[in-house]
Amino acid sequence: MMKRCTKAILYKDNLKYNLEQIKKAAGENTKICVAVKADSYGHNAILTSKLAEEMGIEYLAVATVDEGIELRKNGIGANILILSLCTPEEYDELFEYRITPMIFSFEVIDLLKKAACNCGVKDFPVFLAIDSGMGRVGCYPEEAGEEAKKIVEGGFLKLEGMCTHFAVSDSLQENNVSYTQKQYESFCKAVENVEKAGISSGIKSCCNSAAFLNNKNMHFDMVRPGIITYGYYPDEITEDYLKSVNNNFNIKPVMAFETQVVAIKAFKKGQSVSYGRTWVCEKDTKIAILPVGYADGLLRRFSPGLEVTIRGKKYPVRGRICMDQCMVDIGIDNDEVCLWDKVLIFGPEESGAKTTAENLAKIGNTISYEVLTSISKRVERIIL
């Protein structure tokens, strides 16, 4: 068991609350596919998957075959959908562990059918990926009918569903709103082409977190919430914006990232702190040293700007964040901060943190997704 003081605390009740809000917003007739890829955005995929399954959620989404296998080996029985592409070397494991791939292109369809035949598999479920404008994986809408026919020929595969992914549904800029609408219409055309080919389109899914919240007319049969599961809103689709359009959807951050003060040193005016001498004391002060750095996920670009919370007060990180340590300015006459005090880097309100992953994202010119998934494996996850 790890005993390191740098750890990530996962508030299970907040995770459950978020899933309840998602279920409520989706309604009884819309399936939910919770994104648990990248270890649930750093939040423990086994925890999220078991809780989702207990709550009646039917689908989980991963990015790799190995992620799906890990779920199966931990007793997860829900449908598992891979949102990224896999290689022929992994096909046998798809069949063995009942993991549903997204596929497109005649070449890949033929390879997967051949693998299914060799393994004695019939009617193996797959999703047809549609590129409606993301510019990533998927066939174009005009190709969907022929590819669907190719999938079902021979009876080795069955078309369980179709999906696409929106590129800018988290933006409120007029041109991006229009682009999302065009993507939706393109996906609808792909569905129409499959149905015209005499093939059932199955479960249709196009909504990520942003579209789920802001485009209820696009929900189709299944939505795929990701970042909102873990308590953060997608870019411009903020809580304040949702309230302005009479949508009271509410979520709570799940993770708190914390460490401890392991040393306190007095610094004189003119002394520098950390690599590159990017910060020099303007006056005498004290510096608290924290055993957390960019190898833990506290990205180097968070300084200057990051303030951590100690005993309910915020203190600035000084100098460059190192691989394993960072330094905090606590002031010369501060007797409140003591050796071994807990330090909160970010977290939900109940953790005592005064900073969120979204705050860090703004400092680092990135998104909360990256902040959360950057918390490394050497940071122990503690479930409350």
Which residue of the set 37, 113, 204, 252 is catalytic? 37
Distance CA 226, CA 314 (A): 30
Contacts of 319 (CB under 8 A, 6+ apart): 272, 273, 274, 275, 276, 277, 278, 279, 303, 326, 327
Do you know the residue count of the chain?
Answer: 384
Long-range contact set of residues 273-281: C-beta below 8 Å, sequence gap at least 24: 273/318, 273/319, 273/327, 274/318, 274/319, 274/320, 274/321, 274/322, 274/326, 274/327, 275/319, 275/320, 275/322, 276/319, 276/320, 277/319, 278/304, 278/319, 278/320, 279/304, 279/318, 279/319
37 catalytic residue (yes or no): yes
Specify whether 122 is catalytic. no
Contact of 80 with 106, CB cutoff 8 Å? no
Q: Active-site residue among 275, 283, 313, 377?
A: 275
Q: Cα(335)–Cα(125) distance, rounded to whole angstroms?
A: 63
Query: What gap in Å lies between CA 206 and CA 212, rounded to an integer?
Result: 9
Strands 157-163 and 203-207: parallel
- Spell 178-189 as b/e; 16+ CB within 10 A means b: ebbeebbebbbb
Per the CB < 8 A criterion, the answer to whether 83 and 62 are in contact is yes
Residue 34 sits at φ, ψ, to 5 deg, of -80, 130
Q: Which run of H or E residues covers position 272?
A: strand 272-273
Catalytic residues: 37, 275
